[in-house]
Amino acid sequence: MVLLVRSTVIGGPSSVGLAKKISAKLNARYLQAELRVFPDGESVLRIKGKPNKGKIIVVQSTYPPVDSNIIQALFLISKARQYSSDVIAVIPYMGYARQDKVFLSGEIVSISVIASLFKAAGATKIITVDNHSKIALRYFKIPIQNITAIPLLASYFKKLNLRKPLVVSPDLFWSSSAKEFANCLGTKSIALSKRRDRKTGKLRIKLTKPANVMGRDIILVDDMISSGDTIIKAAKFLKKRNCGKILAACTHAILVNDASKKIKISWSASISSTNTIPVTTSIVDVSEIIAQEIE
Active site (catalytic) residues: 194
Question: Which residue, 165 or 170, is less far from ligand R5P as judged by CB?
Answer: 170
User: Quick one: 52 or 227, whose CB is closer to ligand R5P?
Assistant: 227
Cβ-based burial of 163 (10 A; exposed 0-12, middle 13-18, buried ≥19): exposed
Compute the least distance from the CB of residue 89 to ligand R5P, in Å.
23
Q: Residue by residue, what is the 3-state secondary structure of 222-274?
A: EEEECCCHHHHHHHHHHHHCCCCCEEEEEEEECCCCCHHHHHHHHCCCEEEEE
d(CA 78, CA 81) in angstroms, rounded, equals 5
**Is residue 189 within the footprint of ligand R5P (CB under 6 A)?**
no
Using CB under 6 A as the binding rule, whether residue 7 contacts ligand R5P is answered as no
Residue 200 has a CB neighbour count (10 Å cut-off) of: 7
* Using rule CB under 6 A, residue 95 touches ligand R5P: no
Q: How many CB atoms lie within 10 A of CB 289?
A: 17
Among 18, 224, 253, 263, binds ligand R5P (CB under 6 A): 224
Q: Which is nearer to ligand R5P, 23 or 230 (CB)?
A: 230
Q: Is 226 in the site for ligand R5P (CB under 6 A)?
A: yes
Under the binding rule (CB under 6 A), the answer on residue 130 touching ligand R5P is no
Q: Which of 222, 246, 247, 267 is the binder for ligand R5P (CB under 6 A)?
A: 222
Sequence-separated contacts (24+) of 143-146 with Cβ below 8 Å: 145/293
Which residues of this chain interact with ligand R5P, rule CB under 6 A? 170-171, 173-174, 222-230
